[in-house]
Amino acid sequence: TNYSKEEILQKAKELELEFIHLQFTDIMGVMKNISITIEQLEKALDNEIMFDGSSIDGFVRIEESDMYLRPDLSTFVVFPWTNGSREARMICDVYRPDGTPFDGCPRNTLKRVLKEAEEMGYIMNVGPECEFFLFHTNERGEPTLDTHDNAGYFDLAPVDLGGDARKDMTITLKQMGFEIEASHHEVAQGQHEIDFLYADALATADNIMTFKMAVRIIAQRHGLHATFMPKPKFGINGSGMHINMSLATLDGKNAFYDESDPLKLSKAAYHYLGGIVKHAKAFAAVTNPTINSYKRLVPGYEAPVLIAWSSSNRSPLIRIPAKRGNSTRIELRNPDPSANPYLALAAVLKAGLDGIKNEIEPPAPVCSNVYHMSDEEMKEKGIEGLPTNLYEAIQELSKDEVLKEALGAHIFEKFSDAALLEWSEYSRYVSQWELDRYLRKF
């Protein structure tokens, strides 16, 4: 809802709110929160709340640390889970003291790329499919890798703690204004998916952040730990966050639909697809930003490995779901829920827009299951693979000027520095796998 300042103040009074949480997201995709008492609300609505940006990961140097929060009034929502105290939140953009948007704020970054799309006559709509695991916690409240489904020999009663928690999550999300389309148990033990209705890209990125927060909180209430880590367990499916996306014209028509095409897809859809294929290697660093992300992107677990598209098959990177008309969309299957949703959508949109601008033709679709394609066949068809680890992905991103422009110099630098640091630590670590392999052998 597009509230005015007066309406928010009025609501706060009516609901007798005590605390307001001002939320924003750092470069790594972690939600940050500054809580103010209700007496400070008017000041917050006048964009006068300041914080020290130097204490936030990847934000700024000490000497330019003063940052201002500008709440987006349309994101005002009351928390349904507080026992007793009455609290609400607003999502904020980060601004410099001189009144310009701070380029280290991922939400500003997405807004900048969305503006570019708008200047080309398009609005981006996105529906994500967030998967996550629910694990038991131990006596000290720490997460384990035990799932509720294999709770053990003694649990004869049909208790599905996970199912109960998921129902509670759905109710909570509905109270927060989400329209839940589906909620189901996923393929792996202890794995779940809750789908909500698509919206414009900015609202969806906000929704993903809110979704993760709500899911974690409700899981905790049920004595469970919810994790959006992409591949918590070896040998079973990891968690993805498929991105279903379409462009609409400014008057709200689906710009990917064209009745006259054999596949009923428009020129814009094909070119967007061409851009996605062209930049896939580079945006992987953003849509799959952790070391662990690449342990999900392996053959055999429903996650994509090859850069190809299909109008039916679910194994390649991109699928065009069968629905047409207003539901005409492209499903991108590599993103995972460890991604910063603002940066992931900015990167993917930029790739698609580049395709439209430069009329990039996509390769021919693949029809067979690409997992079963031989190396020769792949070479012949010119099909390449996604990066196989974070280091490779960062190298690809560094080579891609279009995507660097999408992130902006500040975020690109902080983002790749952090990833390379992560990679160098990981590379030096001696794992159990190596001990098992080599300790006796050599």
- Judged by the rule CB under 6 A, the positions of this chain that interact with ligand ADP are 125-127, 129, 181-182, 195, 197-198, 242, 244-246, 254, 326-327, 329, 331
Residue nearest to ligand ADP (CB): 127
The answer to whether 47 touches 68, Cβ cutoff 8 Å, is yes
The answer to whether 7 is a known catalytic residue is no
DSSP 32: E
Nearer to Mg ion, 70 or 242 (CB): 242
Tell me which of ligand ADP, Mg ion, none is bound by residue 239, counting a contact when its beta carbon lies within the kind-specific cut-off of 5 to 8 angstroms: none
Distance CA(397)–CA(168), nearest Å, equals 40
Nearest distance from C-beta of residue 207 to ligand ADP, angstroms = 10
Q: Binding partner of residue 25 among ligand ADP, Mg ion, none, CB under 5 to 8 Å per kind?
A: none
Answer yes or no: 52 catalytic. Answer: yes
Q: Which is nearer to Mg ion, 87 or 193 (CB)?
A: 193
Query: d(Cα 91, Cα 71) in Å, to the nearest integer?
Result: 6
Question: Considering beta carbons, is residue 93 or 129 the nearer one to Mg ion?
Answer: 129
DSSP conformation class of 39: G
263 interface partner picked from ligand ADP, Mg ion, none, CB below 5 to 8 A per type? none
Q: Judge whether 186 counts as a catalytic residue.
A: yes
CB distance 3 to 73 below 8 Å: yes
Minimum distance from residue 184 beta carbon to ligand ADP (Å): 9
CB of 181 to Mg ion, least distance (A): 9
- Which entry of Mg ion, ligand ADP, none binds 414, CB below 5 to 8 A by partner kind? none
Catalytic site residue from 319, 333, 354, 396: 333
The closest of 353, 366, 382, 260 to 320, measured between CA atoms, is: 366
Give the nearest distance from C-beta 9 to ligand ADP in angstroms.
33
Task: Choose between 254 and 290: whose C-beta lies nearer to ligand ADP.
Answer: 254
Degrees to nearest 5, angle at CA 283 with 181 and 202: 45
- The count of other CB atoms within 10 Å of the CB of residue 240 is 29
Question: Which residue of the set 166, 192, 222, 242 is catalytic?
Answer: 242
Q: Kindly name the residue from 103, 186, 302, 405 that is annotated as catalytic.
A: 186
219, 134 in Cβ contact below 8 A?
yes
Shortest CB 199 distance to ligand ADP, Å: 8
For Mg ion, the closer CB: 193 or 336: 193
Residue 55 DSSP symbol? G
Task: State the greatest distance between any 2 C-alpha atoms of the chain, in Å, as a whole number.
Answer: 73
How far is the C-alpha of 280 from the C-alpha of 364, rounded, in Å?
16
Q: How far is residue 315 from each of residues 213, 240, 300, 371, measured CA to CA in Å?
A: 30, 13, 9, 7
Out of ligand ADP, Mg ion, none, what residue 127 binds, judged by CB under 5 to 8 A for its kind, is ligand ADP
Mapped onto helix, strand or coil, the DSSP state of residue 372 is: helix
242 flagged as catalytic: yes
Q: Reply yes or no on whether 206 is catalytic.
A: no
> Using an 8 Å Cβ cutoff, are 331 and 243 in contact?
yes
**Which residues are catalytic, by number?**
52, 129, 131, 186, 193, 242, 314, 331, 333
